[in-house]
Chain A
Amino acid sequence: MAQTNQHHLVLIIARDFASRLSTPVFLVDVTGKVIYFNEGAERVLARRFLEGQSMEAGDWSTVFEPSHDDGRPMELSEIPLGVAILERRPDHGIVRIRGIDGVQRRIEVTAFPLFAHADECLGAIAIFWQTPEPVPEDG
């Protein structure tokens, strides 16, 4: 068969699903390269998909300056989407990011790998939403 760059049907359906949600969604291929993020994600990241498509994992895991609540930088292997890609398992967590507009936002992220077959991972998807700042403990 002639080589084409058609994505696997699972990714086509995942992108369609994401494009219909107002909830932010970020979709990467099996190498971690961005293949889609929706308008909800554009608002949180302050970046348009057209500007962010094809970002490698090493780019999106640094350009948004992910960090823990205590300010420590967050490695790719600690970010839920990074876990989904690197370890091929679902993960959930809270991440602080800085949008391209310079605004830091606290988001809650659920990410999971996309398996077409038990041994065929095609990529991963992250669904996230802004979450309130933690209430300081008394005393």
Chain B
Amino acid sequence: MKVRIWGSRGSIAAPGPETIRYGGNTSCIEVRGDADETIVLDAGTGARPLGESLMERQVQRIDLFLTHLHVDHLEGLGMFAPIWSPDVELHIWGPPSPVASLDERIATYFSPPLFPVHLSEVPARVTFHDAPRDPWTIGSITITADPILHPGATVGYRLESDGKSLAYVTDHEPALGTDLDAASTSWISGYALAHHADLLIHDCQYTEDEYPDHVGWGHPSAAHVASYARRAEVDRLVLFHHHPGHADAELEAMRAAVLAGWQVEPQRCIVAAEGTEIDV
């Protein structure tokens, strides 16, 4: 699998000179499978440039996996060029809800007055799927979705292909109510998704100073990320979902904090930057 990051910011886009190295677009990742499958993880503002690239490449089937429907993971969908092409088959997967269907919930944002066109009117051939409870397969990739700790229905995804695994676990507060260093792994949210992953892409929103004022908001501190990666025994870690107020230098300091807690070789932990490509 080849991974490319198109947006790594959390909460709201944060363009500007202080975020130029790691980027200001919100969550969006492209995964290309060994059989040329195109999987998109979340549709933040990074979906706009990704969509242009996919159109240039004339990709005709796209599977978009939404972790949840908070705006920073959905706001790029309206400007995602493939959704405006009748030649594109777009499958949108997301967390099931007992309240409303996935398309109804997405249309809350993707309809007037918040957006000029209703979701049901887009030209692409769109199919909506509740993320299944059991693993499923798209081409050469097996996908598992599992609920994780974040306000509202939220899932993380694990993608496996050719013996390699990618865990995408963003918007996740695994330390809420849990001592990550002491708890049995069976009581750690998201543990199964990340366990022995070759690559874990994980939320790293808060510093230790910021976290106490944001307990329950659904995001971890850098120390939590270090503990989670260590307990899940992942190989490589990508710090993701950067706080919009964190400038490039602060993100690098957070990486240092994660490495200090995780105690591994520095090359095993990187800060997600727009344009980063990773082979899994």
Contacts and interface: CB of A to CB of B under 8 A. Distances in A.
A19 B189 contact: no
Contacts of B191: 4, 6
Contacts of B149: 9, 12-13
A117 interface: yes
Contacts of A120: 133
Interface string B174-217: 00111000000111110111011000000000000000000000
A35 B80 CA distance: 46
B96 interface: yes
A1 interface: yes
Contact of B193 (A1, A8, A12, A118): A1
A15 interface: yes
Contacts of A50: none
Contacts of A4: 185-186, 191-192, 195
B144 interface: yes
A9 B199 CA distance: 22
B185 A16 contact: no
B135 interface: yes
Interface residues of A, number: 19
A19 B183 CA distance: 13
A43 interface: no
B186 A7 contact: yes
A103 interface: no
Contact of A117 (B96, B158, B165, B196): B96
A134 B135 CA distance: 53
A16 B192 contact: no
Interface string A1-28: 1101111111011011001100000000
A5 B186 CA distance: 5
B148 interface: yes
B177 A8 contact: no
Contacts of A9: 146-149, 189
Contacts of A19: 177
A19 B160 CA distance: 35
Contacts of A1: 135, 142, 144, 158, 160, 165, 192-193, 195
B196 A2 contact: yes
A1 B195 CA distance: 9
Contacts of B135: 1
A15 B193 contact: no
A2 B233 CA distance: 12
A44 B189 CA distance: 30
B169 to A, nearest CB: 12
Closest 10 CB pairs of A and B: A16-B177, A6-B192, A9-B147, A4-B192, A6-B191, A5-B186, A1-B144, A4-B195, A6-B186, A7-B186
Given A4-B195, A6-B195, A12-B149, 12 more contacts: A1-B135, A1-B165, A1-B192, A6-B186, A6-B187, A6-B191, A9-B149, A9-B189, A12-B188, A16-B177, A19-B177, A120-B133
28 contacts: A1-B144, A1-B158, A1-B160, A1-B165, A1-B192, A1-B193, A2-B196, A4-B185, A4-B192, A4-B195, A6-B187, A6-B188, A6-B191, A6-B192, A6-B195, A9-B146, A9-B148, A10-B147, A12-B149, A12-B178, A12-B187, A12-B189, A13-B149, A13-B177, A116-B147, A117-B133, A118-B98, A120-B133
